[in-house]
Copies of this chain bind each other. A is one copy, B any other.
Amino acid sequence: MFSSRTLAMTAVCQTRVPRNANMEKLQNGYLFPEIAMRQQAFMKRHPEAELISLGVGDTTQPIPRVVTAAMAETCHALSTSEGYRGYGAEQGNEELRKRIAEVIYEDMGIKQTDVFVSDGAQCDISRIQMMMGSNVTVAVQDPTFPAYVDSGVIMGQSTSFKKETGAYGRIEYMRCSPENLFFPDLSATPRTDLIFFCSPNNPTGHAASRAQLEQLVSFAKSNGSIIIYDSAYASFISDSSPKSIYEVPGAKEVAIEVSSFSKFAGFAGVRLGWTVIPEELTFSDGSSVGRDFDRIMCTCFNGASSIAQAGGMACLSPQGLKAMKKVINGYKGNAMMLGEAFASAGLEAYGGRNSPYVWVHFPGRRSWDVFGEILEKANVVTIPGTGFGPGGEGFVRVSGFGRREAVQEACRRLRRLFGRRSVVVRKRDYSVGATEDAAAASAPVLLPRI
């Protein structure tokens, strides 16, 4: 009797506002909060453990002084009559738009007015999705950064999630694996309106080659699709892979580029990013995509923080660029060490060379199990590959964004955990009780593609 009364009271308090059916479709927590939760649960059980996080791609190195000094100066100026500024342009300060166009897109024909400054790539992705609406079809790399799919689900671009496949309906998952050099088989990919493409990819660490991107642009052209190219990790590219989709001729008519200062300049907490929408890009009715995005920025956004923008200007000065490069090289050094630690244990490790991420294969195992094993036995936090799509099953992602000493210690622990296998499991052992683990360990000891 008591419980029915409680129920009745609860019912009285409820509103009659229907929950958004698209929100209901979303699975579980969003990846990173989910990992944080499991990590906290582990710490509760093992308060003595010294966890090392190679999980969330979170920067750890101080921001060079040339940048923070410029930001601090802007703060102080806000307390003076001459230096105070209220709202800035919703699209970003003119001089920063200009500098991004000139420094990042040198010789690519990107105009200042094509650049929209924002509070970060992830935020821009959801604003682009809001602009596109529910009536578009979408393709994503599989695995990939989850925000493309999740924001699309929220906007109603998908049907419901299928447990069997680990995928949402109506979204095209383009498998990217070692077998296809992390580039989708476009001949087998149906046309979609939008193609989200992240390079260097998060999580696989693969930077698409020029030939691959030419294929992608030509595919988009012949299908009349729009590529939404995420270059948030472009500054990590060491080889000749393009750093922008606009290095490919003709891309301006088919591609939006989203990017960020988060990984490039340690701005994860400062919040600064940008989106390029070339004037040449139009919808099927010939109307300008950039004009609609401008409207979204004016209606749903109000400009990036003036302080962060001052920091962005300093990042793109010659002195700033030099300082950033040093930081990025440090992270890449970490990623190389991690890749070697896994490879020396006979595991296939990808990424690292053009990316802060290393993508490690555990064939035949479930990635949440591997995540759990590494957490329990090495007290190291990784990211289970399935968090990035069904194509991530059997992989975990580790990040080189940690501090050097922490990464070194993580490498020692990982060698201890997995290393024995490369010793114990030798060729003559293959037929003897080849468990899943042994099978994993018996993978050819490849030189890591890092």
Q: Which of B18, B58, B76, B283 is the one whose CB lies under 8 Å from A284? A: B18
Q: How far is the CA of A65 from the CA of B282 in the complex (A)?
A: 47
Q: Which residue of B lies closest to A192 (CB)?
A: B17
List, in ascending order, chain B residues with CB within 8 A of A83's CB.
62
| Across-interface contacts of A141 in B (CB, < 8 A) | none
Whether the pair A86, B60 counts as a contact (CB closer than 8 A) is yes
Complex contact A17–B226 (CB within 8 A): yes
Q: Across the interface, do B85 and A283 meet the contact criterion of CB distance under 8 Å?
A: no
Question: Copies per complex?
Answer: 2
* Residues B225 and A266 in contact, CB atoms below 8 Å apart: no
- Which residues of the other chain, B, contact A281 by a CB distance below 8 angstroms? 15
Residues of chain B with a CB closer than 8 A to A304's CB: 271
Q: Is the contact region of chain A dominated by helix, strand, or loop, or is it mixed?
A: loop
Task: State whether B271 touches A303 (Cβ < 8 A).
Answer: yes
Chain A interface bracket (under 10, 10 to 19, 20 to 34, 35 or more): 35 or more
From known contacts A14-B283, A15-B281, A299-B147, infer whether A62 and B79 are also in contact, taking CB-CB under 8 Å: yes
Docked complex: A66-124 residues within 8 A CB-CB of B: 67-69, 71-72, 75-76, 78-81, 83-88, 90, 119-120, 122-123
Question: What's the Cα separation between A85 and B60 when bound, in Å?
Answer: 7
Question: Chain A residues in contact with chain B, CB under 8 A?
Answer: 10, 13-23, 26, 29-30, 32-33, 56, 58-65, 67-69, 71-72, 75-76, 78-81, 83-88, 90, 119-120, 122-123, 125-126, 130-136, 147, 150-151, 154-156, 193-194, 223-226, 253-254, 266, 268-271, 280-287, 292, 295-296, 298-308, 311, 401
Q: Which 3 A-B pairs have the closest CB atoms?
A: A16-B224, A20-B133, A126-B300
